[in-house]
Every structure is written in C-alpha cells, then in structure tokens.
A and B are shown apart, each in its own frame.
Chain A
C-alpha cells in the first residue's frame, strides 16, 4: 500500500528524496515508516495521521497522510 509521509523541522533531512509517496506493507505502522526512513524513534515527538495525533504503533491504511515532527514550539 501507499501512504504520504512528510518530515518536518529537524526531521526534514529524512524526507525521502523521491517525494512524499511511500510504499509500505499492508498493516505497517508509523514505527515501521520511521525506521525505514532512518529516524531514531525517540527523536519523533509529535505524530499526525490524517491530522489526528497518533501513537508510534498506529497501523496505517492505504492513502493515509503521515506527518512527523520533532519537539517544536513557538507562539
């Protein structure tokens, strides 16, 4: 299946060079994507799947939009 993945802030350098579409086995989780991208899971502070906060073990579905963030703040 395919999802879109976006890596932001200091995780930007892990963004796949081929773009945002990412191939993943059926039932794959956020954790699988994070490892496949070479990101240390502890560096991911905020995960959005389709705009909703999600845990690292969240199973992904075809067409999901995944956003990965390190700890960020502002205001």
Chain B
C-alpha cells in the first residue's frame, strides 16, 4: 500500500497513512501541484504557517526504467508568490519510491525556531536536532557529516546557509550517488524548508523491497524500447554525454539568442571560450570526468566533474544556464572562475540561475564592474556571510534591480529569465511569459524546435506557430514532470514516436493501466489548469504574464523585438 507521510514540524510528529484516493493516480509534479492547489491557502505567506512543502517521486521512479529517478518538490514559492514545482536528480527520489512513499508533506512551523534533521526509513520517521557543526556550513561538508552519521548510502535533501536565512533564491540540495550536489533550484523552495525548521531530510531505504511491477514482462520490453530511443537519438546518445548542456553556448551564440551583458545583445565574441567544446577539452586535459549521471540509471549522463588545473574536483552538474549567465550575461570570460562560482552556489544552497542573473543585474547597476570574475565571486561569497548585499543578491535578480533602481531587470513573476533571448527565440519567450512557474525555460522548451530542430522546426525569429508550440510543450512537460523522468528524454521522444509509446507502456505495465497518449495530454492539461487556478486565487492575472518592457528594444544581431500582442500571449494557455 503506497504511503502518504505528513510531517508536522510544529509538534515534530509524523503521520504515516495510506495515500488518499485522489492522489493515487498521480505522481511527481502532478501530485505536488494538485496537492498544493488543494491544501495550501493561495494568499498565504510562503514562509508562514499555511504553506506546505511536498516531495514526490514520479510514476516510474525506483523501477529499472532509465532516467526515472527525478524528484518533484512543490510549495507556494517565496520568489514568485505562485505555485512552484522544482525538480532535481540525486538518489533521494529512488529511495522514496523503494520505501513505497507516494509523497512526504511538511507542514507547520517549529515551535522553538530550532532546526531538525528528519530521518525517514522503513520503520518510520524520527527527528533529531540538526548537528551544530552543519548549521551555517557549506553543503558539501554538511552532506559528509550527515552521511557519516546516518550511513554513507542515505539519500539527503538539505538547505544551505541561504535556506537558513530564508532567502528567496534559496534552493533545496540533493546528494547525488557520490555525495556531490544536485538541486531543486528554482523558486526559493529552500526558504520554505528553512521556515519549517528543516535543515535536512535523510532517507534510508535499507530493508525496502523492489518497486512492484504489475506486468513485469511487458515492463521489461517497454523499458528496453525506451532505453533504445535514448541511446540512438544523437542528442541524448552523443551530444549530451559528450559536451553536457553547455554545448548550447555556441549554437545560441550563432543563432543570435545568447543574452549578453544583461540582455543587451544576443551574440558575443568570446562565447567559444566558455562553451561546451572548450569545457569538455579542458576537463579531458585535466583528467576530470566529462560524463556522469545525477542518479543511478541515467543513461544520458549530461553531468560532469569539472576539475582545477591540478585535477581536483570543483563542481558537477555544471549547466549551460549558469555558465551562460555568468559567462555571457555577466561577461565573465573564464570557465574556471565560473566553476568556482557554481561551487559556491552549491555550498550556499542558492539557485545558480537566479543568482547568476542577479550578478549581471548588479554589474549593470555598477555595484561591480562588468566581467570582473574576482569581484563577482566575492559578491557571491557574501551570501553565505549574510551581509546585507549578500542577502540582496540571494533574494534574486528582481530584488537587486529594485534596490538599485533599474528598469532593465529580466524577470517574469519575479523569477529570472534564463539563457535564451525571448526576442530571438520567440517560442520560449511565450513560455517565460505564461508558465505558472515564473520565467522558466524547462516549462516549455521551445528552444528545441526553434533552434535545435528537434521535434520539427518553427522559425525562432517569427511569431508564426509559436503559440501552439509553447502550449503543446507546456502540456507535455507537465506530464513528463510527473513520470520521474529527466526532461532531456524529450529530445528523443519528440523525434522517435516509439520512445514516447514505450514511456506510456511502462507506466501501464507498472500500474496495470491502459493509458493512451491522449490520457497523457489530458493529465498535462489537468496539472496546468490546477496550477493556473492556484495562481489566480493567489492574485495573479494576465497582467502578470508579460515580459519586461525593455524587450521592446531591438536585440542585435537580428534586431528583432518582443512583439506578441496581449491577446496572443493570453491564448497560449487558453485551453
């Protein structure tokens, strides 16, 4: 019987019950978003007593399906003020699934303001005081201390100093199988976890049995077809493993959509120095790892271990968006410097996208000079130190813009716009504008079709076809985010129909269902509708679905502008 665990941080008690009927057919983002929409008061303060934090593995998590180990975290976001689902790799989710835990809900506020470590295993839930040595410490050390205490194999979800300070860009970090860090990065969920007095959640699946599969033979054959799609598609089979997501720097630069110097232009002269090709060559030369998976069972392995000149580990999960934001948007033409910044984000437990865009905004405000790597790192380190400026930076791009009186602040619903200029990649601009998550490329990754020519082609500079593209991708993504699958499987299943069919077949075989592709689309729509409805009840209107007005300025080299009408934007999610 699937378990549904409610943990009250006020009384430090847990109630382990059967999964309520209405959530039985949900998982991942579907579950977290429906739950938040049902139980969280939309007008509540995100750090107050009415907010709840929920973790849920996906439909296929814990099975032998490749790439199925992602976790969804949901709450009302302190950054956007709307509903949030943020997902992550790491080994936590698979352990939850093996313990047959459909969801873990954290409610209430600590009576004494103290931080706890919540321990979950087959016998239930226990609470310990957070060890003093990890309070205020960097996340790498904190994970080591926790795995020394609770066992080297336990899954860990934790907040860093940023979450303890309840900064609106604080993330939730998850230990990967080697004790390194992955993050549910966006939307400030680390602040929510901090408000509930949770320093960490550790999960031990010792003694758990294998995830039950209703039809093992059918599952096995579908899983094989699915894995086959991922390994044969050139993006998931070759490009991502070899270069990581950072392969995108050069292609966005060629396309004129690589936002440079706080979105002043879409191309720069130094892009190749920070691109995936240079990064892979550097890692190889120094003896790092060019490919690595963020959880067991990932066959795409887009992650890597970036090392210093002596071959010593600096960071992993070194993603395009972070490298873009510091390397192009903040003009720091130095991969090593960006790697140290990425490490510091992980240590502090803060969203690397939000904070990097905030650094570029701080440069635009004259706080530090453009492209100054040392000044940027010093600034980022102030987050952990808790200085006033560090706290402003850790509150995101919009906060920095507001403190310094700028209008050129690239955010939607207060969340920083990532890595793809909406004037040169118009499909993803519609996603930024309309997703209930606040500006988020992953919510409907039209870059695939606009730039990468995956899943068809829609001209990035024109308006035609973009509304439908963004809508369809947002619906499909809401569904994929419910499966526990890494979103990068989409590259393969957009082009290889049998890959998509195999995904549905796996879900059917796991639960003895007979879902069709149409049911999957219907699920995606149901999730989005619930999220939009939450936001409406929280006070959002279509006026919040607009890009900042500086996108009316032409973006070189194509000199295109953001030119969708309000009606066009509002039609994206009108279904």
Contacts and interface: CB of A to CB of B under 8 A. Distances in A.
A73 B448 contact: yes
B239 interface: yes
A71 B237 CA distance: 10
Contacts of A12: 277
B interface secondary structure, majority: helix
Interface in A30-63: 45-46, 48, 50-53
A31 to B, nearest CB: 17
Q: Which interface class (under 10, 10 to 19, 20 to 34, 35 or more) fits A? A: 20 to 34
Contacts of B367: none
B234 interface: yes
A28 B275 CA distance: 30
Contacts of A51: 254-256, 267, 557-558
A49 to B, nearest CB: 10
B251 A46 contact: yes
B453 interface: yes
Contact of A74 (B238, B320, B460): B320
B442 interface: yes
Given A10-B242, A51-B267, A71 B457 contact: no
A9 B247 contact: yes
A6 interface: yes
A8 interface: yes
Contacts of A52: 461, 558
B243 A72 contact: yes
B68 interface: no
Nearest to A69: B251
Interface string B238-251: 11101111111011
A51 B251 CA distance: 9
Nearest to A74: B245
B239 A73 contact: yes
12 contacts: A8-B247, A8-B250, A45-B234, A45-B452, A48-B254, A52-B558, A69-B254, A71-B239, A73-B248, A75-B245, A75-B441, A75-B445
Given A53-B460, A72-B452, A74-B246, 8 more contacts: A9-B250, A52-B558, A67-B254, A70-B234, A70-B239, A73-B248, A73-B452, A74-B488
